[in-house]
């Protein structure tokens, strides 16, 4: 029987096909293009359909960029977990990569448990605990919501008074609102007032930009500066990118080490500096493919654990297909630490 993708396992058996899942950012179109160029037999799958389970059964590896907007992010988490746990499929992103996607609360828990250098962060669902935390803070602090990209719902609280006002907005549930909630009515008008939690992060002053480090397939590393918005402390979503990056090998290798240690297929890290040392603010599986492609080059982790420069523009979708090819042939041979 001929192999379905031109590859054979070490036992000479045919390797199962690749599934490429449709997404609203159209990554699947480039993925299909590069899969065809690589000679990989593949199938395009619409995960939103009711028959998605039947469609994925012939595939051993699936590439999927789940959509960010609700309810599709929730769909991604449901199905990635199900695919791995019950169907034994290899999904990119895997569950380790995706469970904390678009959830800054979950990332805060992970950063603390993994001892990742990050500004001090408070996450609390308790009004009394949040009030107590205000007394421990040095202002300003950064207030965030768990979800949202491009600095959505990120703002600076400049005083304890502003923090206490936010606590009141978040936790003040009236009798009227409780009564309306019984009938499915939530009159709270903004994501912040609907939270019923606070997420505050220590502010790192003096940063006019942040460093975005993106690791793809645990070995390809892209780095560029994102400049702050005019008169603002936020860089994410500014659209101002500087690709002239030097002397960030330590930051890049650290991000690669995290990906290998915690089995992240790919990850983008947002980094700033505090007291002369780098700290990680957030991380995200999803990123803009054009920002990666526009980089004049990137680094590849070499066999010695260092970085080798590769010049030229590269689409992340091409690197994803390279990674999928290794997974299909079961020859990733990626060490867990650098």
> Using CA atoms, how far apart are residues 229 and 86, in angstroms rounded to an integer?
45
**Both tokens assigned to 276:** 């002369």
pTM value surpassing 0.85: yes
Confidence (pLDDT) at 180: 57
Give the Cα-Cα-Cα angle 194, 119, 131 (nearest 5 degrees).
45
Q: Which CATH class is domain 209-329?
A: alpha beta
List pLDDT tens digits, range 270-282. Answer: 999 999 999 999 9
> Using CA atoms, how far apart are residues 3 and 11, in angstroms rounded to an integer?
12
Confidence (pLDDT) at 4: 40
**Region of 159 on the Ramachandran plot (φ > 0 left; ψ -120 to 50 alpha; else beta):** beta
- Domain 17-98 in CATH 3.40.50.20: yes
List pLDDT tens digits, range 295-307. Answer: 999 999 999 999 9
Pairing of strands 297-301, 220-227: antiparallel
Bridge partners of 284, per DSSP, are: 268
Confidence (pLDDT) at 205: 92
**Region of 57 on the Ramachandran plot (φ > 0 left; ψ -120 to 50 alpha; else beta):** alpha
Confidence (pLDDT) at 189: 53
120-202: CATH topology: Dna Ligase; domain 1 (3.30.1490)
Closest CA to 218 of 336, 47, 86, 98: 336
**Region of 215 on the Ramachandran plot (φ > 0 left; ψ -120 to 50 alpha; else beta):** beta
Residue ranges of the domains in the chain?
17-98, 120-202, 209-329
Q: Which residues of the chain have pLDDT under 50?
A: 1-15, 191, 333-338
- Cα dihedral 291, 271, 238, 147 in deg (nearest 10): 100
Do the domains at 17-98 and 209-329 have one common CATH topology? no
């Amino acid at each position: 029987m001929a192999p379905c993708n031109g590859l054979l396992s070490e036992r000479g058996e045919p390797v199962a096909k690749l599934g490429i899942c449709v997404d609203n950012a159209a990554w699947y179109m480039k993925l299909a293009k590069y899969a065809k160029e690589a000679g990989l037999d593949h199938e395009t799958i619409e995960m939103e359909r009711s028959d998605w389970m039947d469609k994925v059964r012939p595939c051993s590896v699936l590439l999927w960029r789940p959509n960010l907007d609700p309810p599709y992010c929730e769909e991604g988490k449901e199905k990635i977990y199900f695919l791995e746990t019950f169907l034994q499929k290899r999904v990119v992103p895997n569950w380790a990569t995706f469970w904390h996607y678009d959830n800054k609360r979950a990332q805060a828990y992970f950063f603390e448990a993994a001892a990742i250098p990050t500004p001090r962060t408070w996450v609390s669902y308790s009004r009394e605990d949040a009030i107590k935390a205000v007394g421990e803070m040095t202002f300003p602090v950064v207030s965030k919501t768990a979800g949202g990209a491009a600095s959505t719902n990120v703002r600076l609280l400049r005083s304890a008074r502003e923090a206490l006002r936010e606590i009141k907005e978040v936790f003040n549930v009236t009798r009227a609102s409780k009564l309306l909630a019984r009938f499915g009515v939530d009159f709270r008008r903004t994501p912040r007032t609907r939270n019923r939690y606070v997420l505050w992060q220590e502010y790192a002053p003096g940063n006019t930009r942040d460093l975005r480090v993106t690791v793809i397939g645990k070995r390809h590393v892209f780095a560029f500066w994102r400049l702050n918005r005019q008169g603002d402390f936020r860089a994410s979503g500014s659209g101002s990118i500087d690709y002239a990056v030097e002397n960030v090998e330590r930051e890049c290798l650290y991000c690669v080490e995290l990906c290998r240690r915690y089995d992240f297929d790919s990850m983008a890290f947002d980094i700033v500096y505090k007291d002369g040392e780098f700290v990680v603010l957030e991380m995200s599986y999803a990123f803009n493919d054009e920002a990666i492609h526009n980089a004049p080059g990137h680094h590849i982790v070499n066999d010695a654990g260092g970085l080798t420069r590769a010049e030229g523009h590269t689409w992340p979708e091409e690197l994803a297909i390279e990674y999928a090819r290794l997974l299909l042939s079961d020859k990733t041979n990626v060490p867990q630490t650098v």
